[in-house]
Amino acid sequence: MKKIGIMGGTFNPVHHGHLMLAENAYEQIGLDQILFMPSKNPPHKPKNEIVSEEHRINMIKLAIKDNSHFSTSFVELEREGITYTADTLTELTRKYPDTEFYFIVGADSLYMMQDWMEPQIVFDLSTILVAVRDDVKTEGLMKHAEFLKETFGAKIILLEMPTIEISSNNIRNRVAEHKSIRYYVPDEVITYIQANELYGYIPKE
């Protein structure tokens, strides 16, 4: 059985925090591959905050092109209507029956997973990998993980992650405020953002 990790999100833009989380998951769990899976534009977010699917895809490709065990998946972008993780995992399991899927989430997301659409399907079809930062107390997290295990039979593994205070929102704000995002995202992603004048970037005259 192949072991494939799934990194989902809007990736608006992709940054070093995403890449470090994916690499940690790959190394700690012994995965064969990590799929970066961009989601459609969420209906609850203002459209002017999220750049087009094409731009987000291009930035992901630039960010991961030098890593042979990172790749992209457009399963969620190709599906019409609201995209749910349960549907995504159902589709992937049907297409790749010889694969075990590992769904990577942040600690905050774990507390909400019981409220996701069809959570039983999510837990049945994947192992949940939870990114635990150095500054997050794990007692409450472990307690909730046990609740999910007892309620849904969930398979949950906590990943060790260094504390990285980087967010896509922070990066967008820095670009709009004409501040440097060097070391926040790969250099080629910076060049792409500037060339396409994304997130309010204004070229210097």
**Tens digits of per-residue pLDDT, 57-101?**
999 999 999 999 999 999 999 988 788 999 999 999 999 999 999
DSSP 113: G
How far is Cα 173 from Cα 181, in angstroms, rounded to an integer? 10
DSSP 48: G
Q: Check pLDDT > 80 for residue 126.
A: yes
For 185, 190, 191, 199, the CA distances from 59, given in Å and listed in that order, are: 10, 9, 10, 13
Domain boundaries, the chain: 2-200
- In what order do the strands lie in the sheet containing 70-72? 70-72, 33-38, 2-9, 99-106, 126-133, 156-161
How far is Cα 102 from Cα 31, in angstroms, rounded to an integer? 9
Q: What pLDDT sits at residue 46?
A: 61
Which pairs from 70-73 meet CB under 8 Å and 24+ separation? 70/19, 70/22, 70/33, 70/34, 70/36, 71/33, 71/34, 71/35, 71/36, 72/35, 72/36, 72/37, 72/38, 73/6, 73/35, 73/36, 73/37
Q: Which CATH class is domain 2-200?
A: alpha beta
Tokens (6 digits) for 42: 């969420």
End-to-end Cα, the chain, rounded Å: 55
Q: What pLDDT sits at residue 140?
A: 87
Q: Is 71 left (phi over 0), alpha (psi -120 to 50) or beta?
A: beta
Taking a C-beta distance cutoff of 8 angstroms, is the pair 69, 26 a contact? Answer: yes
Q: Check pLDDT > 70 for residue 45.
A: no
Q: What pLDDT sits at residue 201?
A: 94
Give the pLDDT band (50/70/90) at residue 135: low
Q: What is the pLDDT of residues 16-42, one digit of tens each?
A: 999 999 999 999 999 999 999 999 865
> Residues with Cβ < 8 Å from 18, sequence gap 6 or more?
7, 9, 11, 36, 63
Taking a C-beta distance cutoff of 8 angstroms, is the pair 43, 55 a contact? Answer: no
Q: What is the mean predicted confidence (pLDDT) over 133-147?
A: 82
Question: pTM for the complete prediction?
Answer: 0.92
Taking a C-beta distance cutoff of 8 angstroms, is the pair 62, 198 a contact? Answer: no
Give the pLDDT band (50/70/90) at residue 204: confident
Taking a C-beta distance cutoff of 8 angstroms, is the pair 123, 145 a contact? Answer: no
